[in-house]
Amino acid sequence: MQLWQAVVLGVVEGLTEFLPVSSTGHLTIAEKLLGMRVDDAGTTAFTAIIQFGAIVAVIGYFRRDIVRLLLAWVAGLRDRSARTQDYRLAWCVVVGSIPVGLVGFAAKDLVAGPLRSLWVVAFALIGWSVVMVAAESFAARRAVQHGEGQVSLKDAVVIGVVQCLSLVPGVSRSGATISAGLFRGLDRVTATRLSFFMSIPALTAAGLYEGVSAGKDVSATVGWGATAVGTLVSLVVAYASIAWLLRFVAHHRISVFAGYRVALGVVLLALLGTGVLSAV
């Protein structure tokens, strides 16, 4: 991979990782347009590894919240009387991150193989858009929505299970978790912040696993220099995207992204159907 290609893919990752439009779906499309084989082991590993840059951006942006939650979690483990809402929220992040880790490991061959198809991306982009619209419609009908201080373990489990669907390229991890949060009665900002927190264990584990298990594939195809560049670019772009998204969701529905997702999915289906693009 040439360095300019790594920069392009890093920008795509940073822009789309936390927007409900599917970063993996967009990376798969971009990689195909750049002439890469999207089901190649090195390409799959590259896609997972550069997401680590976005996670570093999350850690940097929410560093004060993360430290607060960690301190509350440790204090609660040591002393039952110190178990505050921050302690419970920290447990929610931990518990909610477990399902995607288990499913991702068990289904790693499926995720890296058959699901790495542009047909899957196209249908997932369109299909999950319906869920996002339904989630916002459900939230709009609720008289009362819960804030961060009212997140329960049951909320975390449900959101964590739904997050597993984001292993399908085109669904979107943030789109899945925010939609699940809205269905659980959380307000949009709380659902979005929880989505950010839950992304840290999930994407960190995925990036580290691919870096270790597919290191030879990365060296042989993409190259570690290009991977490092893509990761760094994704970090910088993702940091700016986080700030923008938090401001956006405070005043806008996530369903506004549905039109873009459907349009992209339809265009992708047309290109695949006419043979302009191949699925892998």
Predicted confidence (pLDDT) per residue in 146-177, tens digit: 888 889 999 999 999 999 999 999 999 889 99
**pLDDT value at position 1?**
83
**pLDDT value at position 274?**
94
DSSP 256: G
Q: Do 46 and 69 contact (CB within 8 A), yes or no?
A: no
Higher pLDDT, 41 or 32: 32
**pLDDT value at position 154?**
94
**216-244 mean pLDDT:** 89
Residue type, 217: D
Higher pLDDT, 68 or 116: 68
How many other β-carbons are positioned within 10 Å of the β-carbon of residue 251? 8
Query: What residue segments make up the domains of the chain, in order of their start?
Result: 3-273
pLDDT range class, residue 223, cuts 50, 70, 90: confident
pLDDT range class, residue 88, cuts 50, 70, 90: very high
| Residue 209 confidence (pLDDT) above 80 | no
DSSP 113: T
DSSP 255: G
| Residue 30 confidence (pLDDT) above 80 | yes
> Which backbone phi and psi does 40 adopt, to 5 degrees?
-70, 140
**pLDDT value at position 238?**
92
Question: In whole numbers, what is the pLDDT of the chain averaged over residues?
Answer: 89
Give dist(CA 40, CA 218) in Å, integer.
10
| Residue 205 confidence (pLDDT) above 80 | no
**pLDDT value at position 115?**
86
Give dist(CA 47, CA 87) in Å, integer.
33
**113-141 mean pLDDT:** 92
Give dist(CA 166, CA 189) in Å, integer.
20
| Residue 211 confidence (pLDDT) above 90 | no
| Residue 39 confidence (pLDDT) above 80 | no
Listed range (199-203, 205-209, 263-267) with the worst mean pLDDT: 205-209
